[in-house]
Amino acid sequence: MLRYIAWRITVMVPTLLMISALVFTIIELPPGDYFESYVAELQAQGENVDLKAIEALKVQYGFDKPPVERYFHWVWGMLHGDFGYSFEYELPVTDVVGDRLWLTMLVSFVTIIFTWLVAFPIGIYSATHQYSWGDYGLTFVGLLGLATPNFLLALVFLYLANLWFGTSIGHLMDAQYFNEPMSWAKAKSIMEHLIIPVIIIGTAGTAGMIRRIRANLLDELQKQYVITARAKGLHPFKALMKYPLRMSMNFFISDIGSILPAIISGAEITAIVLSLETTGPLLIRALQAQDMYLAGSFLMFLAGLSVIGVLISDFALALLDPRIRLQGAHTK
Amino acid sequence: MKMTSPLPPPGKEMGHYVSEAPFDVMSIEKISPEQEKIYLAPQWKLMWWKFRQHRIAVWCGVFLAILYATIFISEFLAPYNIQTRNVDHIYSPPQQVHLFHEGEFVGPFVYRQQYKLNMETLKREYTKDTSKVDKIRFFCTGDTYHWWGLVEMETHLFCPANGGELFLLGTDRLGRDMFSRIMGGARISLTIGLLGVMVSFVLGIVIGGMAGYYGGWVDMVVQRMIEVLQSLPSIPLWLALAAIMPVTWSPLVVYFGITVILGLLDWTGLARAVRSKLFSLREEDYVMAAQLMGAKPSRIISLHLVPGFMSHLIATATIAIPTMILGETALSFLGLGLRPPITSWGVLLIEAQNINVVALYPWLMLPVVPVVLVILAFNFLGDGLRDAADPYK
Amino acid sequence: MMRCLRLALLTMLLVLGVQTNAFAMTFEETPYFSDLVKAGKIDPVARRVPQQPRIIDLAKIGREPGVHGGKLRMLMGSKKDVRMMVYYGYSRLVGYDLNYKLQPDILASYEVEDGRIFTLHLRPGHRWSDGAPLTAEDFRFAFEDVMLNKKLARGGLPNSMLVNGKGPKFTVIDELTVRYEWDAPNPQFLPALAAPLPLYLTYPSTYMKQFHADFIGKQAAEALAKERKYKHWRAMFIRLGRQNRPENPDLPTLEPWFNTIAPPSEQFVFKRNPYFHRVDSNGRQLPYIDTVEMNISSPNLIPAKTGAGESDLQGRYVSFEDYTFLKQSEKRQGYNVLLWKSAVGSKVAIRPNLNFKDDAWRAVMQDARFRQALSLGIDRHEINMVTFFGLGKEVADSPLMQSPLFDEEYASAWASHDPVLANRLLDQVGLTKRDDDGTRLLPDGRRAELIIETAGESTVETDVLQLITDHWQALGLKVFTRATQRDIFRSRLKAGNTMMSVWSGLDNAIPQPSMSPEELAPSNDSQTQWPQWGLYGMTDGKSGTEPDLASARRLLSMWQEWQQSRDDETRERIWNDMLKLYTSEVFSIGTVNSTLQPIVVSKKLHNVPKEEVYSFQPGSYFGVFMVDTFWFQDGLGSD
């Protein structure tokens, strides 16, 4: 087992390197670079473009060097904790991402909790009352959130919330609290504004979770020990909760791999429409503008989290399920 | 029969006796003809019977089948072409179909609309003129279209009365009929999912199969590949890939490019499922038996292993299709992928993505209804298929 | 004794007289500063304004004098929009008045000799927003230590300061007077000072010197740069000193409001400048409004937010399509929706790329008859009715009626709907052969399929293109539209890969003869009809290619002629010649102009003109209309 852990950790390194190369290529791939769009934008505003100054900027950031050299420079910097410089914001990447990170995590955590709160009861009910109208009905409701395109839903909710409740449109808080320190009023405003994004993003995730809880629970409920427990007189609720439910939580573990990065940057489209101050829109904008370091470093950060998450979930799974032989093809 | 024959001398063979009495295979355990049907039924029949129990899934399957069938005749089913403009009926709301006019049964018809421009708000206002009855014609001649780009035809299932208009779901800002546009958009939206899933299907089975069966370093490489692809958030990847598609490609080529992109990024989930299933099934005795009998790995994978969870794969695939459809709308939102003048549900929804539509012309958001219905249908169908394919119930 | 008393009285009066303002105006203290003044932290208003402030007589221009107070809320779509405050504030050395004629603003006065010698006079006692005096030293510092500094200004002097490639001779006459002198006339100089994005002749030297290597030593400068996380002191200097984008809260300014929040932020708050040089005729120092709050949001949400009453003055990010929605929410939310005219030469204009890589197409597009035919093939009336409710003008890409250079001849050049003549012209060009479905064929046999590219940002463009596709179908030309993204759109154009593109028409559609006609000539590589020729004109022939067409060359030389003109009559003549040539050659195919731009104004905000022309060049959006004179009822904002 220990050998396996050491092996996986060593393998993580080339994986991350591969990812970094992929990320770099992806960002560099579209034609042009940030400076071209910068020049174009200045010209669109009627500013006199000092071409020589732009050239100087390019040299300053190493853009006159070949891509391979720039790649190594970037990776080297990241290993030292220097995530680079955002051209668009003209600030170090860490400063740009900084504030948005905790708001993103707030939104994600509340959404996850909301998803669990909704999916659990529905999933359990579905499993225990399979093929009933209740089963169909609740699954339908759960699926609705998944099926509707988020961006349209977002706009409609925003409009209605403003019409009926007077909630200010978009963002995570009222305009007056933007630069204010935290206070009860600010927290209340954030809570009020969280409702719409959490509902929209959350309902999209409930469908999958309902399905999985339902499927896993159904599997468990067939097993012998459940019948034995009921035969021995265990209360039906306890027979459900104490053993089968815990056994079917397996999938949570395998989900860690994808949840971790999603907490840091998820639901980009909803965030763009709702104008939320989260990292999703930041990433999208950086990619569109080809803001190399901001986009690249952030993607690497997410990728790193994902790899670590997969590692954790694989370990946990291996611990729990000995069926998954890890030593390769079975030879006989 | 008596056992009286003596043992043979040492070194000689034993006597061999076969009874010639008639033997009825079913004499031990009698089964009725109905039971025979069940026990001897092939796998797909078993699946079908199981599937039928899930009634909603069946209805969804029927619904989808009808929908896909209409793709072939979408121009015929719609009263107008998707690009037909009517500049006198811009932003007109949906017209209600009536059967009775002033107490008399007249047949399906709509009242003609009167147009007035409100000069203060610059809003186009339409009022029903209850004196003019526009009867809906059936199997009539309307806009010309090219059926599959080949045959020029003019017949439509139903069209507006001569001199009148028929806007069942209203019109957009160029006066184009929404019902016709939604019908026309179905063609692209429904097929883009299928093609994308086919791409990811092939990739997932091949790559996942190899990893699951061979294990070892093949598995390790594939696992790392999957990790790499899954660790990058999908939307940025789509963004990057779509940005490099040359602008001069014709819309059709762009469309195929988008399906390939959507499929390329989705195979990892399938591959992982295949791989883990193969890991467990690999240890089964029948695999060992096949190996002992000298079967090649490819034969073992394709003939013995894959059918074991083909049903599961199909079920997964039907649930992947909605992701593709939603992915297409997401790409349109980001300004990539399909753009006007191509018509798909995603494009229609993007054009409805502004406050004016939400507040003033909400009928332009109706394309969301078929999107939701199709996605729900695929989900229920997939649920049903998966339940049916599961051999443990 | 009496004589002593009288002498003392006289001296006292003299002393007092020197200290009070020359105009002996009584000033009313701004309530915003009254506490600070009482505490002695800041001078009273009489000493804050220059000794000769600029007095704005509001009654004379048909507006009401106002009261101090209030917070103006605005919505913007990107954090870069802090630069909007420079446009809206519109405090310039020399600016445009309401008739777009040049007038001194920050300057007390100026003289021009022979069109080449400019003497500028400052207002005595005029101070920067941090209290440091505005003197000739600021001009000298800007010219000698910044503009001529090879390390800070790598491209050399900006074009508006070069005549025949040479810069001016700069002299400091005295503490309040400076002079710029060229060998030949420089008509670009004053318009550059009055532009929305102006030529900056002055820097707040007291503040900026602490970041300049020549004044604190190179080592100290580099150390300071490192401390502030810049790579070099040059980057630090440029970033901190960027006056056109007020991101640095510490940077002193001459604008009516200065920024108090550094990016990144979702909200920028601008506070009033205590030393602003304008006052109204009642002795109130401008601006009336205390603070401006700029909230950054997704552009697509802004119409919705405006409709919810979250903005007091909104012209950006709301368009004509939003009018009905905004108008309907008017009563509920307490604002008015005004309709101004959008000042571009044409709301949607199509420009064939005369530098397109494909030889056959290039030859066809360079033939004027082809472009004229395309223009004649468009049914502008249908476009007007469908997209603009018939409220626009169906014209070529040309100046609006509000400009003195407007002429019916330019506006109607090739702008009628005449498919018959258009078809004939296309035949004359040589596109006589047709395919089976009626599509014309190029001389080399290929189908005449036009690919028009757009930056994909506006549904109006898509709609108009949809209509035009049908119009040109009748001419035997098949049209394909490709929507891309702005960055890709531009890079494809520059590389010569775009056949035709869509954008808006002339940027400055209300030009005066004193303004530069550069848009009509190949002067810039971002001009979508001739990027390579534009590059040639921009770099004086050093890069790009010389125009093939004689007409383009003629426009280029006329523009150069304007750059050497001495008086307004010559300039007017040149303008008319250029407009005539430009519109008859149809380098840009216009459709409809004078379209309407909704402006949302809070009901409590006064002095916003009811009907005006909304333009970037030269109106600086709201700038020319003096945002500093807008005031809130009772000095209270909307919240």
A199 Cα to chain C: minimum distance (Å): 19
ipTM of the complex: 0.80
H-state helical runs in C498-541 = 531-538
For residues B172 and B178, what is the distance between their CA atoms, to the nearest angstrom?
A: 7
Question: Which one of B217, B227, B231 would you mutate to disrupt binding with A, by most A Cβ within 10 Å of its Cβ?
Answer: B231
For residues A74 and A293, what is the distance between their CA atoms, to the nearest angstrom?
A: 8
B285 Cα to chain C: minimum distance (Å): 57
User: Quick check: B259 and B325 in contact, CB under 8 A?
Assistant: no
**C-chain residues within 8 Å CB-CB of B121?**
323-324, 327-328
pLDDT surpassing 60 at residue A332: no
- What's the mean pLDDT in C617-633? 93
Facing A329 at nearest CB: one of B215, B355, B358: B215
Nearest CA in chain A to B373: A147
3-state secondary structure of B389: helix
Q: Taking all residues of chain C, what is their mean pLDDT, rounded to a whole number?
A: 90
- What's the mean pLDDT in A288-307? 81
Cis check: omega of the bond before C287, within 30 degrees of 0: yes
> Cβ contact (<8 Å) for C382 and B87?
yes
- N residues, chain A: 332
A216 or C494, which is more confident: C494
At A262, the pLDDT band (50, 70, 90 cuts) reads low
pLDDT surpassing 90 at residue A87: no
Which residues, including other chains, have CB under 8 Å from residue C80's CB and lie 6 or more apart? C245
**B-chain residues within 8 Å CB-CB of C322?**
355-356
- What's the mean pLDDT in A103-110? 84
Tokens of C635: 């000095």
Q: Looking at residue B275, what is its pLDDT?
A: 79
Segment holding B194, helix H or strand E = helix B178-214
Rg for chain B (alpha carbons), in Å? 31
**A-chain residues within 8 Å CB-CB of B334?**
269, 284
DSSP state of A245: I
A9 Cα to chain B: minimum distance (Å): 12
pLDDT surpassing 70 at residue B41: no
Instruction: Provide the strand spans (E) within C455-571.
Output: 478-483, 500-503
Query: Which residue type is seen at C194?
Result: A
For residues A181 and C506, what is the distance between their CA atoms, to the nearest angstrom?
A: 47
3-state secondary structure of C184: coil
pLDDT surpassing 50 at residue A330: no
DSSP state of B7: P
For residues B328 and C290, what is the distance between their CA atoms, to the nearest angstrom?
A: 48
* B152 burial via Cβ count (<10 Å: 0-12, 13-18, 19+): exposed
> Cβ contact (<8 Å) for C269 and A46?
no
Q: Which residues of C101-113 are buried (b: 16+ CB within 10 A; e: fewer)?
A: ebbbbbbbebebe
Segment holding C280, helix H or strand E = strand C278-280
Q: Looking at residue A329, what is its pLDDT?
A: 39
Q: Reduce the secondary structure of C138-180 to three states and give it as a string.
A: HHHHHHHHHHCCCCCCCCCCCHHHCECCECCEEEEEECCEEEE
CB atoms within 10 A of CB B48: 12
**Chain-centre distance for alpha carbon C148:** 25
pLDDT in tens, A58-83: 777 777 777 888 888 888 888 887 78
Nearest CA in chain B to C450: B248
Q: Looking at residue C397, what is its pLDDT?
A: 93
Q: Looking at residue A327, what is its pLDDT?
A: 45
**A-chain residues within 8 Å CB-CB of B326?**
149
Strand order in the sheet with B98-101: B98-101, B104-118, B123-135
At A244, the pLDDT band (50, 70, 90 cuts) reads low
pLDDT in tens, B24-35: 766 666 666 776
- DSSP-assigned letters across all residues of C240-256: HT-SSS---TTS--SSS
pLDDT in tens, C183-231: 999 999 999 999 999 999 999 999 999 999 899 998 999 999 888 888 7
At C119, the pLDDT band (50, 70, 90 cuts) reads very high
Q: Looking at residue C9, what is its pLDDT?
A: 59
Cis check: omega of the bond before C104, within 30 degrees of 0: no
> Cβ contact (<8 Å) for B392 and A23?
no
How do strand C177-181 and strand C169-174 relate by DSSP bridges?
A: antiparallel
User: Quick check: B140 and B155 in contact, CB under 8 A?
Assistant: yes
**Chain-centre distance for alpha carbon C150:** 28
Tokens of B40: 């001897």
Among A142-151, A163-172, C125-134, the range of highest mean pLDDT: C125-134
Q: Which residues are paired to B145 by β-bridges?
A: B153
> Cβ contact (<8 Å) for A26 and B280?
no
Query: Which of A122-126, B244-248, C280-284, C568-572 has the weakest average pLDDT?
Result: B244-248
> Which subunits sit against A, judged by 3+ Cβ pairs under 8 A?
B, C
Residue C119: which region, alpha, beta or left (left: phi > 0; alpha: psi -120 to 50)?
beta
Query: Which residue type is seen at C236?
Result: M
**A-chain residues within 8 Å CB-CB of C308?**
162, 168-169
Tokens of B62: 């029927």
pLDDT in tens, C360-407: 999 999 999 999 999 999 999 999 998 888 899 999 999 999 999 999
Cα angle: A278, vertex A282, A288; to 5 degrees: 150
**C-chain residues within 8 Å CB-CB of A272?**
298
Query: Which of A138-147, A166-175, B295-304, C290-299 has the weakest average pLDDT?
Result: B295-304
Q: Looking at residue C178, what is its pLDDT?
A: 95
Q: Looking at residue A280, what is its pLDDT?
A: 82
3-state secondary structure of C460: helix
pLDDT surpassing 50 at residue C75: yes
Which residues, including other chains, have CB under 8 Å from residue C24's CB and lie 6 or more apart? none
Question: Which one of C266, C292, C518 would you mutate to disrupt binding with A, by most A Cβ within 10 Å of its Cβ?
Answer: C266
Among C323, C333, C382, smallest CA distance to B120 is for C323
Q: Looking at residue A116, what is its pLDDT?
A: 80
- What percent of chain B shows pLDDT beyond 70? 87
DSSP state of C287: P
CB atoms within 10 A of CB C276: 28
pLDDT in tens, C9-48: 555 555 554 444 445 678 999 999 999 999 999 999 999 9
Among A213, A299, A197, smallest CA distance to A252 is for A213
Query: Which residue type is seen at B66?
Result: I
Residue C328 contacts B where some CB pair is shorter than 8 Å: yes
Q: Which residues of C11-43 are buried (b: 16+ CB within 10 A; e: fewer)?
A: eeeeeeeeeebeeeeebebbebbeeebeeeebb
Among C620, C402, C634, smallest CA distance to C512 is for C402
Sign of CA dihedral C360, C365, C370, C373: positive
Residue A62 contacts C where some CB pair is shorter than 8 Å: no
At C277, the pLDDT band (50, 70, 90 cuts) reads very high
* B214 burial via Cβ count (<10 Å: 0-12, 13-18, 19+): middle
- What's the mean pLDDT in A100-112? 84
H-state helical runs in A80-183 = 93-128, 133-147, 150-165
- What's the mean pLDDT in B27-53? 70
For residues A84 and A240, what is the distance between their CA atoms, to the nearest angstrom?
A: 52
**B-chain residues within 8 Å CB-CB of C488?**
243, 247
Cis check: omega of the bond before C252, within 30 degrees of 0: no
> Cβ contact (<8 Å) for A40 and C490?
yes
pLDDT in tens, C507-560: 999 999 999 999 999 998 889 999 999 989 888 888 889 999 999 999 999 999
3-state secondary structure of B122: coil
Q: Looking at residue C628, what is its pLDDT?
A: 94
Residue A118 contacts C where some CB pair is shorter than 8 Å: no
- What's the mean pLDDT in B133-161? 80
pTM, to two decimals: 0.85
For residues C376 and A183, what is the distance between their CA atoms, to the nearest angstrom?
A: 64
Facing B356 at nearest CB: one of C322, C467, C492: C322
pLDDT in tens, B117-146: 888 888 888 888 888 777 888 888 777 787
Q: Which residues of A111-142 are buried (b: 16+ CB within 10 A; e: fewer)?
A: bbebbbebbeebbbbbbbeeeeeebbebbeeb
**B-chain residues within 8 Å CB-CB of C463?**
173-174
Residue A69 contacts C where some CB pair is shorter than 8 Å: no
Among A32, B326, A257, B90, smallest CA distance to C486 is for A32
Among C383, C405, C411, smallest CA distance to C584 is for C411
Question: Which one of A24, A139, A155, A312 would you mutate to disrupt binding with B, by most B Cβ within 10 Å of its Cβ?
Answer: A155
Which backbone phi and psi does C393 adopt, to 5 degrees? -115, 130
List Cα–Cα distances, C207 to B220, C147, C215, C234, C544, in angstroms: 61, 17, 12, 15, 41
pLDDT surpassing 80 at residue C273: yes
Tokens of A152: 């349209």
- What percent of chain A shows pLDDT beyond 70? 80
C193 Cα to chain A: minimum distance (Å): 13
At A331, the pLDDT band (50, 70, 90 cuts) reads very low
> Cβ contact (<8 Å) for A330 and B353?
no
Q: Looking at residue C638, what is its pLDDT?
A: 67
For residues C306 and C310, what is the distance between their CA atoms, to the nearest angstrom?
A: 5
Nearest CA in chain A to B242: A30
> Cβ contact (<8 Å) for B392 and A222?
yes
pLDDT in tens, B314-372: 767 777 788 888 888 887 777 777 777 788 898 898 888 888 899 899 999 999 999 98
> Cβ contact (<8 Å) for A29 and B392?
no
CB contacts < 8 A, A to C, total: 110
3-state secondary structure of A319: helix
